[in-house]
Amino acid sequence: MREEEASVDRHHARPRGVDDTTIEALGELSKALETIHRVRGHLYSAHQLVGGADLTLDRVVQLFREAGHDEMADRVEQELLGRNLLPGRWTFQIVEEFDDGYYAVFQEIERDAREKLVGGRRHIYEAEMKQRRRTHGRPGHEATPPEA
């Protein structure tokens, strides 16, 4: 069997009859979803950072009181400690709304497009790019991992 034939990854192979534009569109949709995964991670980071800052305010209030700055301690305690980030929402609520709304719909649409157009296969665009860019037959340029 030729190396080229042996390198076909059946999990990422383009189904017969699927055109280049469809593969490109699915690749772009996948790329957009990957960006949204990153957004989700940043939201969780913001959630943890804001929560940590809010917990640090307990120490700030304590130190201002110890230093005799009760007015400043009161202001931090009353205006910042436990304050909503957005109207009526702490960060956990923002994360939940994002996860259950935009994020869930984005994932469902991307999955539906793959299921309907290429039998659920993922990363066909990237797999074909890999085939074009790698140096066939060279160590470190294999199409797939070695058989287990």
**Residue carrying structure tokens 């699927």:** 18
Contacts of 13 (CB under 8 A, 6+ apart): 121, 124, 127
The pLDDT tens digits of the residues spanning 83-111 come to 999 999 999 999 999 999 999 999 999 99
Give the pLDDT score at 147. 80
pLDDT of 144 over the 90 cut: no
Could you give the 3-state DSSP secondary structure of residue 51? helix
The pLDDT tens digits of the residues spanning 61-71 come to 999 999 999 99
pLDDT of 5 over the 60 cut: no
Q: With 0.95 as the threshold, say if the pTM is over it.
A: no
How far from 76 is each of 20, 79, 88, 147, CA to CA, in Å? Answer: 59, 5, 19, 61
Taking residues 2-24, report their average pLDDT. 78
Could you give the 3-state DSSP secondary structure of residue 92? helix
- 11 or 37, which is more confident? 37
Three-state secondary structure of 94-134: HHHHHHHHHHHHHHHHHHHHHHHHHCCCCCHHHHHHHHHHC
The domain ranges of the chain are 18-133
